[in-house]
Structure 1
Amino acid sequence: MFGDFFSRALIAGIGLALVTGPLGCFVVWRRMAYFGDTMAHSALLGVALSIILSMNMTLGVFAVAALVAGALIVLQKQATLSTDALLGILSHSTLAVGLVLVGFLTTVRIDLMGFLFGDILAVSVDDIVIIYGGGLAILAILIFAWRPLLASTVSPELAEAEGLRPEASRLVLMILMASVIAIAMKLVGVLLITSLLIIPAATARRLSATPEQMAVVAAVLGAVAVVGGLFGSRTWDTASGPSIVVMALIVFLVSLTVPVTRLYGRKAPDGARS
């Protein structure tokens, strides 16, 4: 009924959504949307360096995103600039340096629009293996580190008092985000990755009673956005990546008509409170 390329896109997109949903909850709770943009913008620099150094592109993007996360932590300890100012510097600088390096690669043909906005319809079987293999690893780490991550999100001071090392939890979260950006870049592009992280999680926040429920709902809503966006793209011949994000936005707008679900029985992360 559907072409192989469309079926592969559905499988890959759903696999990605199942990872970005739960991870996006922490992005929303910790108010890290701008950090997500910074990591996504650094992906283009990772692409350029991967080509220059003849290395695997996914690994190159991950390495650069992880280095940017580490640079942010080091610069924050200097306490000379606010976090949002540091993020602005890193975000626009990495994007600009990446674009400049791409401009120097005159002997290599680069689909810049594809990297910026993605092309999920061009996903291959190897890409699907990377998405599901990397996604399972990310989810396994997220589940294993769920308690310290959640505790340090609710109260870093209390988490530190309990010996849970909130700084280590924060570093783990940054590495997981770098990993997601590396495997998601080809699908939705560097400019749309943050949307897939934030919108389903923000929608799930209104519909969930516990942090765990929010993570599951966010994953489901992300999958709905992928399926709806791809079918919309197929029907109206629109760009697939932006169509997925538009579908996620539609789901969010619809959720605004639903009564807010209050979080009962336990303290939730500040960003998850209704």
Structure 2
Amino acid sequence: MFDDFLTRAALAGIGLTFATGPLGSFVVWRRMAYFGDATAHAAILGVALSFAFGSSVYLGTLGVALAMAVTVARLSGRGHAMDTVLGVLAHSALAFGLVAASFQSGLRVDLTAWLFGDILAVSRADLAVVWGGSAVVLAMLAWRWQGLLTSTINDELAMASGLDPRREQMVLTIALAMTVAVSIKIVGALLIAALLIIPAAAARQAVRSPEAMAAGATGVGIVSVLLGLWGSLQFDTPAGPSIVAAATFVFLLSLPLRRRG
């Protein structure tokens, strides 16, 4: 039987995949991988500010991640080159976060956990935050599902259908910021984007509908979490990177499915 800490880790990882699966599908469809990176890197600055002001890490991370996501969305909408904006903001936010963390001795010791995750240290309170946050993200995506799909296909088609593409983009922006906030303790700032993208990319090989891809990405995420935790236990490897490595292994196994489809 699993120890309590391993059970909590598995439940936290599984809870997170209910958000990363559907959201990661939109990240893949919209080619927002770098957008996810920028938001995730900003999370370290949120962690540093939370420790400095003695506030909740989840709230601090959410605030900074949301500010980063909104900034990127607004700048890209004004004609700035998207890849340049994302590159500047992503690396700048990470650098400022690391510099800010270096001034706080307690955070400096635990910085690796925030960069790469520490899912084995998840508490019952963390579980409530993860499952609650994932439920909110899933509800948001379900609420705007058709509008998000339409605007993903084509902005002009969305406007012809009476939709505002900017509103749909904002829904994704908020959902991404919330996902980053609840997942930073599990897989860390440097691996969040990987957990969003890799399961969705693996599911894409074998499905033929958006709904099936969202469900498939969630399934791949669950398998990756359980396989990664097993590998971490067996080989004494870091849990967060092990989960991402397991997701990559599943992705490689999925590649032949595309050729048969």
TM more than 0.5: yes
Q: Is the 8 A contact 1:19 1:135 kept in 2?
A: yes
Q: Is the 8 A contact 1:208 1:261 kept in 2?
A: no
Gaps spanning 5+ residues in structure 1: where? 263-274
Q: For residues 193-248 of structure 1, give each alpha carbon's deviation from its aligned partner in whole angstroms, at most 9, with x where no partner exists.
A: 01100000001111111000000010001000000010011111111111101100
- 2:29 corresponds to 1:45: no
Aligned to 2:125: 126
Aligned to 2:58: 58
Distance 1:157 1:17 in 2: 32
Describe the SS at the equivalent of 1:207. Answer: coil
Distance 1:232 1:113 in 2: 20
Q: Is the 8 A contact 2:24 2:196 kept in 1?
A: yes
Aligned to 2:15: 15
Q: Which residue type is aligned with residue 31 of structure 2?
A: R
Q: TM-score, normalised by structure 2?
A: 0.97
Aligned to 1:70: 70
Distance 2:11 2:73 in 1: 35
- 2:183 corresponds to 1:181: no
Distance 1:109 1:38, change over 3 A: closer
Aligned to 2:84: 85
Q: Is the 8 A contact 1:209 1:261 kept in 2?
A: no
Alpha-carbon deviation of 1:160? 1.0
- 2:30 corresponds to 1:34: no
Aligned to 1:206: 205
Gaps spanning 5+ residues in structure 2: where? none
Please identify which structure carries the higher helix content.
Answer: 2
Describe the SS at the equivalent of 1:257. Answer: helix
Distance 1:29 1:75 in 2: 21
Distance 1:258 1:50 in 2: 45
Alpha-carbon deviation of 1:110? 4.1
Aligned to 2:169: 170
Q: Which residue type is aligned with residue 251 of structure 1?
A: V
Deviates more, 1:252-261 or 1:59-68: 252-261
Describe the SS at the equivalent of 2:205. Answer: helix
Alpha-carbon deviation of 1:78? 3.4
Alpha-carbon deviation of 1:77? 3.6
After superposition, the CA RMSD in angstroms is 1.3
Q: TM-score, normalised by structure 1?
A: 0.92
Distance 1:165 1:261 in 2: 38
Aligned to 1:250: 249
Alpha-carbon deviation of 1:2? 1.5
Distance 1:260 1:156, change over 3 A: farther
Q: Is the 8 A contact 1:196 1:245 kept in 2?
A: yes
* Percent of aligned pairs sharing the same letter: 50
Describe the SS at the equivalent of 2:31. Answer: coil
Alpha-carbon deviation of 1:51? 1.3
Distance 1:75 1:20 in 2: 25
